Structure 1
Amino acid sequence: MRREIVTVLAVAGCTATRLGRKSDVRASAKTFSTGSCMMRPVVRLHMFLLSLLLAPLAAMHAVEPKTGESKRIDLGDGVALEVVYLPPGEFLMGSTPEEKKWATGIEGGAQPGTDRESFEGEKPRLTRVKHGVWMGRTEVSVGQFKRFAEESKYVTDAEKPGGKTQVFDPEWDGYRLTTKVAHPWKSMVGKSWRDPHWGFQNRDSFPVVCVSYNDMNAFCKWLTDREHKAGRLSEGLEYRLPTEAEWEYGCRGGSKESLYFWWGNDLERGEGRLNISAIDFLPGRKKTWPLGKAPWSDGFAFVSPVDHYGEKGRNGFGLADTCGGVWEFVIDHFDPKGGHEEIYYENAAKRTVSRPVCRGGNYFDVPGNARSAVRLGIQSPTYSDSRDGFRVCLGRVVTKQ
């Protein structure tokens, strides 16, 4: 191939010489010999021909990353973020009537309400993710978000004057309809991602929570700008939240079947993979979550460290903790009819998100709400909760510019 390139340039050089264009070539230019012809590559014609030749060759020989291939993104100060590659593909998005029946049954334990639109948005349909993306192996951690906040001096919605976030109420000790504390979560001032009110020390390895849709997008913009400035990010790409379709495609791990969880339909196979409302409660309390349906201890009353379960907790794409753990925000506005991959790709400038979408369930939820297909509509872009987090996606630009 190299010989062909040299030959084309040599012919171009000979042509210029025969046309009497030697005066266009600077005398100081380095010359290359090919046969009986002299070639001077500083000539603009030569450079133009070279660019025409190399462009299609580069496209021909561009190698698509392998499925599950990973790369580390340096965030500075020894902090990194890992993303894995998801190729374009098709999958069955949503759930079947049988799955919805299981989700609201004895084992699933779900009680669909207005936030989930009674699971009506889970209509099964073949969906295609047209472009490959890189997705965070894990949810964004406290340590990674801390790096962003320190470098950018960012203040989250919950930390602003008058800001609030939903956190666990330590006075709660069970569901009793006659007591004043009926639900374990309440809105509090002075709590944030720095202190989610666990009752124990927050860790850098935990998924970051108590951050809003606005805060998540600010993190993604910071990362995009940082990588552009460092010359590590091509034009037309950005770090952002995944679309609903990208998220569910990633959650299912490459499966083309309509399964409850990425590993299948058997809840018991979730042991060692799934942090949900199991038999665990707060340290030192001899109680269990009353919603607990999983017949095992997942080891944590609240969040677990990201990728805590290792290889067993990763799906076919290598993504960890996609079911359970914390709810994960996606970029789309909540559409009761279901998620659509094209919602941002084709109509980004006209979309306004007033009700974000969460996917995947959380550590407090029942199995029926930790499925691959489950969707949750959030009340506003400023809302935050100690059960909600996010993971990043590196892909085509779809956010408003």
Structure 2
Amino acid sequence: MSDRRTFIGGAARACLAVPGIALFDTYLRSGWRSPGNRFDGGQAGRPRVVAGVSLRWCPPGRFTMGSPLTERGRRSDERQVSVTLTRGFWVGQYEVTQAQWHRFMDELPTRPLTAAFGLGDRYPVYWISHDQAQRFCVRLTAAAREAGELTSGEWFQLPTEAQWEYACRAGTSTATAFGDDISASAIHFGHESATDPHRGAVPVGRFPANAWGVHEMHGNVWGWCRDWYHAQLPGGTDPDLSTQRGDPNRDGSYSRVRRGGAWIEEDWTCRSAARLRYEPHRSSDHIGFRVVLEQR
């Protein structure tokens, strides 16, 4: 068994044997939770809802982060490293939606949301800077604690790069969670033309989920990670580069990381290992985010 499929404590063994996403989602509907730890979701992909945000459980485990030399579209900043995540976490089943943004925030995105790029409660929010996404996590945490759904040791954050790729891969080692072929039937990408009828984001959940029940990790809108951009991927145990500035941009500024690709991008950007930098104060019509729930 490869290191990508070795999960600490055996918490995720069964999910790798499930042959289809539809069957896996059916299997999860029981809503099982570990009796030993209220936070621990047990089986990979188990569902939970906190403050109206649907989550899926990612158990502790080991995986290989980055891409092999032979992967089509690979870039030099994807050199593979071994990562161990000693703590499980919950990841947003979907990108944060426009309805969720308006529910918890008293500030608007940096520019108006429009039908040209996707407008409606179930669409992902965009035109959100990294700073705004972090403030959303603070507001969401506060609301969930006030409602008695979280303890003082649990909070929402943006994912680290390692958490993001781990949740994206869901036990796979291929270019995407659906295999090496990047298909328009599974991923929303490649709609750059202004005359393309499919231009813009689609409502969350429109495209298939990965084996852990998480939708649109590939395509639709980019997702912010909390790490600063470093040309070398972080390996080791529980890597977190959110406080360590990395490689500067040409103008001397520094960037955070975005992951997952988007509706406007080429196929290579939608790979599990693809990563691009972006300054944290900036926003775009095709950058959104999803949250993770952690316990420390």
- TM-score bracket for the superposition, by shorter chain length: 0.7 to 0.9
Confirm or deny: 8 A CA contact 2:116 2:199 kept in the other structure: no
SS at match of 2:281: coil
Q: Does 1:275 align with 2:188?
A: yes
Summarize deviations over 1:24-72 as a string: whole Å, max 9, x none: xxxxxxxxxxxxxxxxxxxxxxxxxxxxxxxxxxx99447422211112
How far is 1:339 from its partner?
A: 3.7
Q: 1:218 aligns with which of 127, 135, 149?
A: 135
- Matches of 1:342 and 1:62, distance apart in 2: 20
Query: Aligned pair in 2 of structure 1 residues 213, 200: CA closer, same or farther (>3 Å)?
Result: closer
Taking structure 2 as the reference length, what is the TM-score of the superposition? 0.78
Compare relative contact order (CA 8 Å, sep 6+) and give the higher one, 1 or 2: 2
Give the partner amino acid of 2:218: C
Q: 1:306 aligns with which of 185, 204, 227?
A: 204
Query: Aligned pair in 2 of structure 1 residues 233, 365: CA closer, same or farther (>3 Å)?
Result: same
| Corresponding residue for residue 172 of structure 1 | none
Q: 1:355 aligns with which of 255, 266, 275?
A: 255
- Matches of 1:359 and 1:137, distance apart in 2: 15
Calculate percent identity across the aligned residue pairs. 27
Give the partner amino acid of 1:300: H
Total equivalences in the alignment = 253
Query: Aligned pair in 2 of structure 1 residues 71, 301: CA closer, same or farther (>3 Å)?
Result: same
Confirm or deny: 8 A CA contact 2:81 2:233 kept in the other structure: no
Give the partner amino acid of 1:103: G
- Matches of 2:86 and 2:117, distance apart in 1: 44
Gaps of 5+ in 2: 1-33, 247-253
SS at match of 1:85: strand
Q: Which has the higher helix share?
A: 1
Q: Does 1:195 align with 2:113?
A: yes
Summarize deviations over 1:294-352 as a string: whole Å, max 9, x none: xxxxx72111110112xxx10011100011111110111111111446443xx87x546
- Matches of 1:351 and 1:60, distance apart in 2: 37
SS at match of 1:98: coil
SS at match of 2:151: coil
Q: Does 1:154 align with 2:107?
A: yes
Gaps of 5+ in 1: 1-58, 75-79, 105-118, 159-191, 289-298
- Matches of 2:118 and 2:223, distance apart in 1: 22
Confirm or deny: 8 A CA contact 2:90 2:294 kept in the other structure: yes
SS at match of 2:70: helix
Specify the structure having the higher radius of gyration (Cα): 1
| Corresponding residue for residue 176 of structure 2 | 261
- Matches of 2:35 and 2:101, distance apart in 1: 39
Calculate the aligned-residue CA RMSD, in Å: 2.4
Summarize deviations over 1:246-274 as a string: whole Å, max 9, x none: 0000000122x2x111111123xx24210
Confirm or deny: 8 A CA contact 1:121 1:339 kept in the other structure: no
Query: Aligned pair in 2 of structure 1 residues 303, 61: CA closer, same or farther (>3 Å)?
Result: closer
